[in-house]
Amino acid sequence: MLKKLMQALFIVTPLVAFPALSYDKSPIFLAQADGMTEGEVRKIDPETQKITIKHGPIVKYDMGAMTMVFRVSDPSMLNKVAVGDKIIFDIEKTGGAMVVVSLQKMN
**Measured distance CA(89)–CA(104) in Å, rounded:** 6
Q: What is the dihedral of CA 34, 95, 50, 99, to 10 degrees?
A: 0
106/69 Cα distance (integer angstroms):
20
Strand partners, 44: 51
Fold assignment, 24-105: OB fold (Dihydrolipoamide Acetyltransferase, E2P) (2.40.50)
> pLDDT tens digits for the chain (107 residues)?
666 655 655 565 555 555 444 444 444 444 455 679 999 999 999 999 999 999 999 999 999 999 999 999 999 999 999 999 999 999 999 888 999 999 999 97
Domain boundaries, the chain: 24-105
The pTM score is 0.69
Question: Comparing C-alpha atoms, which of 87, 52, 93 is closest to residue 70?
Answer: 52
Q: Which amino acid is at 93?
A: K
